[in-house]
C-alpha cells in the first residue's frame, strides 16, 4: 500500500515539475509477427490435414486404388491470466502537492502493454529450444528435424551454419524458403516478407543495406543487389523485447501460424477499502501465445 511515509517528497513544495515519470514509447511490436485475434473459448485447439499427392498409374482394366486422407494430432493451448494492482491511501492522495499519485494508475496500463510484448517475445527466445512453446510435431518453432504428416524424413527451417545477419546468412535463410515442403514432402510456394531482427547495435543498419541497397552491400564488385531485386519489399522489424540480440527470423506473413489470442482484453477496475480509506486499482487480462505449423518461419541463432 502506498502511504504518506513512502512518498514524503510529494508532500513538500520545491521539486521540479519534470518528474521523468514517462517517456516516448515504441509502437506495438508483437502484432508484427503474431496474428492477433480474440476468442470466447477457454482453450484453443487445432490440427492439420493432407491428402494423397500423386495419382497411381493404371493398367488396362485395373481398378482404382483408394487412399485415405491423413489428419494430424490435435494440439491445444490454454490462455494465462495476468494482473497486478495498486493501493493508495486517501491521506497520501490528499497531501500530494503534484498530483502524481492520482495518475498512478497509468503505470498499470503500461505494465499490461509490456506484458503483451515480453510474453510474445518469449516465443522468439524459445524458438530454438522448445522449452515452453512446441508445434504440432512436438518440436520447437525453429528446428532442423521437423517431421511430415504423410511422408518419411525431416525438414529444417534453420541454416546448417548459424551465421550472423549478413548477405550469406540472408541467402541461406531464403534458400530454406525455396525448398520448404508441405505435409506430403512436396514443394510449396512460400515467399518471406518480414525480417525480424534483434536489437544488436548495427543490426538494423545491416538489414537495410542488404535489402535496400541498389548494389550488393559489403563487396567491391559493384554488381546489382539480387536480394533487393527479388525481395525489396521485405519488411524489417526490430524485436526489442527478446533477450537474444543476435537471433533473427524470416516470416511469410501469409502462412505464419503463430498467434496472439486474447481471451479477456486488458480490464481496468477500481474499488475503495472502507477500513483503510485506500483506493484500489487493478488491471487484469487473459491471453494465449502459441503456434501450430512451423511452416512460414525460418530462423538463425548465431552465438
Is residue 165 one of the residues assigned to a domain?
yes
Among 31-40, 156-165, 258-267, 268-277, whose mean pLDDT is lowest?
268-277
| CATH value at residue 257 | 3.90.1690
Is residue 21 one of the residues assigned to a domain?
no
Is residue 291 one of the residues assigned to a domain?
yes
Is residue 124 one of the residues assigned to a domain?
yes
Number of domains composing the chain = 1
Q: What is the pLDDT of residues 49-87, one digit of tens each?
A: 999 888 999 999 999 999 999 999 999 999 999 999 988
Q: What is the pLDDT of residues 252-303, one digit of tens each?
A: 999 999 999 999 999 988 888 888 888 888 899 999 999 999 999 999 999 8
CA angle (236 as vertex; 235, 242 as ends), nearest 5: 130
Nearest to 203 by CA among 147, 245, 249, 157: 245
Whether 21 has a pLDDT exceeding 70, the answer reads no
Q: How far apart are CA 269 and CA 245, in angstroms?
A: 37
Nearest to 278 by CA among 91, 28, 109, 107: 91
For residue 4, name the pLDDT band (cuts at 50, 70, 90). Answer: very low
Q: Among residues of the chain, what percentage have pLDDT more than 70?
A: 88
Is residue 22 one of the residues assigned to a domain?
no
Q: Which domain holds residue 47?
A: 4-11+28-55+80-300
Is residue 16 one of the residues assigned to a domain?
no
Grid cell for residue 196: 525480424
Is residue 220 one of the residues assigned to a domain?
yes
What is the reported pLDDT for 225? 74
Is residue 68 one of the residues assigned to a domain?
no
Kindly write down the DSSP assignment for every residue of 25-92, as one continuous string: -PPP-HHHHSEEEE-SSSEEEE--EE---S-----TTPPPPP---EE---EEEE-EEEEEEEEEEHHH
Q: What is the pLDDT of residues 142-152, one digit of tens each?
A: 999 999 999 99
**What are the b/e assignments for 95-104, b being 16+ CB within 10 Å?**
ebebeebeeb
Amino acid at each position: 500500500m502506498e502511504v504518506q511515509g513512502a512518498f514524503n517528497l510529494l508532500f513538500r513544495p520545491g521539486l521540479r515539475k519534470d518528474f521523468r515519470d514517462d517517456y516516448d514509447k515504441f509502437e506495438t511490436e508483437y502484432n508484427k509477427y503474431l496474428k492477433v485475434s480474440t476468442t470466447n473459448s477457454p482453450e484453443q485447439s487445432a490440427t492439420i490435414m493432407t491428402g494423397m499427392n500423386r495419382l497411381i498409374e493404371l493398367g488396362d482394366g485395373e481398378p482404382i486404388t483408394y487412399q485415405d486422407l491423413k489428419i494430424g494430432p490435435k494440439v491445444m493451448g490454454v490462455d494465462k491470466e495476468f494482473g497486478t494492482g495498486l493501493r493508495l491511501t486517501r491521506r497520501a492522495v490528499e497531501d500530494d502537492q503534484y498530483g502524481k499519485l492520482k495518475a498512478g494508475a497509468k503505470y498499470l496500463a503500461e505494465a499490461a502493454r509490456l506484458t503483451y510484448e515480453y510474453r510474445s517475445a518469449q516465443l522468439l527466445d524459445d524458438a530454438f529450444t522448445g522449452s515452453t512453446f512446441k508445434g504440432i510435431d512436438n518440436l520447437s518453432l525453429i528446428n532442423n528435424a521437423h517431421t511430415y504428416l504423410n511422408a518419411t524424413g525431416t525438414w529444417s527451417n534453420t541454416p546448417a551454419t548459424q551465421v550472423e545477419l549478413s548477405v550469406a546468412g540472408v541467402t541461406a535463410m531464403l534458400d530454406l524458403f525455396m525448398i520448404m515442403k508441405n505435409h506430403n514432402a512436396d514443394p510449396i510456394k512460400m515467399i518471406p516478407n518480414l525480417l525480424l531482427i534483434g536489437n544488436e547495435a548495427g543490426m538494423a543498419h545491416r538489414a537495410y543495406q542488404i535489402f535496400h541497397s541498389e548494389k550488393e552491400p559489403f563487396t567491391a564488385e559493384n554488381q546489382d543487389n539480387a536480394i533487393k531485386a527479388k525481395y525489396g519489399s521485405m519488411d524489417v522489424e526490430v524485436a526489442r523485447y527478446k533477450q537474444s540480440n543476435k537471433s533473427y527470423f524470416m516470416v511469410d506473413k501469409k502462412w505464419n501460424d503463430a498467434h496472439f489470442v486474447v481471451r479477456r482484453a486488458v480490464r481496468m477496475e477500481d474499488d475503495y477499502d472502507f477500513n483503510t480509506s485506500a483506493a484500489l486499482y487493478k488491471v487484469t487480462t487473459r491471453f494465449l501465445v502459441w503456434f501450430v505449423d512451423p511452416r512460414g518461419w525460418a530462423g538463425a541463432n548465431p552465438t
